Amino acid sequence: MHKIVFSLFATLLLASCASLPRTIQVNNNTNTERKGEMVEVKASSLRACFHSKSYVLKNDKNEEVPYQLIYNGKKKAQAFIFQANVSATSTGTYTLSVGTPAIVKAKTFARHVPERKDDFAWENDGAAYRMYGPALANENPSNGADLWLKRTDELIVDKFYHDELQNGISYHVDNGLGLDCYAVGHTMGAGGIAPYSTDSLWIGNHYDTYRVSENGPLRSVFTLTYDSVKVDNDFLKQEITITVNAGSMLNKAVVKYTGVKKNMELATGIFLHDGKGQLKLNATNGTAAYAEDALSNAKVPSGRNYVGVFVPAKVNAARKQGVHALLLSDYRVGDSFTYYFGGGWSKWGYPADEDWFNAMNRFSENVRIPLQVSLK
């Protein structure tokens, strides 16, 4: 009898606990406001608190906050992510309870684009990008990143491709939503990466395969594989996994080379085009930031175009070499290497060059001092 009563009590207690709201605290230990920054809670922590896969998240104003469950290729969710707003040296408080959330507006997107020569394109609410695929093999492409400027938080990748390919409306002209004015060619583009050995930059070619792990609404993650990257007399395989978050000015890239075990340097870089823009290199801070005129194909001025790269690891040197600005770091084949890259526009969020340069500094500081998240 005692066992039955205890079992019933335990069941009722668990059911009661599972229905109680939980508090998520986000601590900001920096002297700057953290606005729209993505934070994570382990999904296993949620499963320990709730017997549900459906939640409602609210801020301290009782406003619903969008979230996304991240699976990382697993059957069960691995993380719960949302964008937090926390004042300087403060704590933001969010309440999580069981319920049916509102539909989340997509702010990130990624896909293979077979109708445009195997491009792989992605975007968030700040900018859009693409890398070049196998169908461009005969046109000497690179593994550099192309940048599409945008001035809307709406997703524009599919519209731009459809308008260009089906209606003849060029995305190389500012149509009110954005434009592609960043020529890449066989360069590192807007934040590419390449081995640096024997004083040479070994720029790769097109990607060979792709895999999408997450596709919005608040985070998209994909991996591109390059089967054969020449470095000196060796050939290495490269994998790059790119994460794009809503609200983030830069993409996160995790790169791994495999093959012959060797020590070398990796260069993350920016193609400087005519070199007439404003460049700021900071080896100590691990940043390279560039500002130049945004010009349509017809050379019509369209504000200022911005590109930035940030390397959290030690940077041995930051320098201009030929048509590139480079950040050089030590690397051993087989290890993973993390860096961040991306771009912006004077018509969307960064009115002047200094706004971009200051934002790059803040971004690097925020990565080094992340927001602290706890589930109460």
Cβ pair 77, 43 in contact under 8 A = yes
> Given this model, what pLDDT does residue 13 score?
37
pLDDT in tens, 19-64: 578 999 999 999 999 999 999 999 999 988 887 778 999 999 999 9
3-state DSSP helix/strand/coil % of the chain, to nearest 5: 15, 45, 35
Q: Where are the beta strands (DSSP E) in 260-346?
A: 263-271, 278-282, 287-295, 301-310, 317-321, 324-332, 336-345
pTM of the full structure: 0.94
Domains of the chain: 22-100 (2.60.40.1180), 109-368 (2.70.98)
CA distance 219 to 82: 9
Cβ pair 372, 21 in contact under 8 A = no
Dihedrals phi, psi of 355, to nearest 5 degrees: -65, -40
pLDDT in tens, 217-259: 999 999 999 999 999 999 999 999 999 999 999 999 999 999 9
